Structure 1
Amino acid sequence: MATPLLLTRRLPIPAPTGRSLPLPEHRYDPLVGANVVADGRLLVEAADPATVANYTSTQDQGGVRRKDDPK
């Protein structure tokens, strides 16, 4: 018989590293379809890759919705 999956176990909370790497100032550019920093570079290229990965892993993957888009 297969071993049942236990959903009650959790990973320990990671220890704080002591340094916070905030995302640089950015805005969404609808022409590019991505977040860009002030000098026009993509946010994913301008920021620390680990910070971007941590930030984007918490975001809804639905993308931009418009009124006319099929659901």
Structure 2
Amino acid sequence: MKQNLIQSLWFIFLLFLAFVVPVFGILPAIYLWTTMKKVPDLAAMRGWTMGALVVQGCYLLALVLIFLFFVLA
């Protein structure tokens, strides 16, 4: 099944959000990760999507550490 231009741009926009937006970017990253299994054309984005999930995990870890060290101390 061939993707149309709008759907391709939407996936690229979601990937951009997943990398750039701290904390709230995890939602597009998870959406892309689950959609990737249904849409075979997204197989090329597998590494990028995993990278976005790792970046979001680092953002969340940093926020937890900031909270623990600066708020509770």
TM-score by length of 1: 0.31
Larger relative helix fraction: 2
Specify the structure having the higher radius of gyration (Cα): 1
TM-score by length of 2: 0.31
Larger relative strand fraction: 1
Higher RCO (Cα < 8 Å, 6 or more apart)? 2
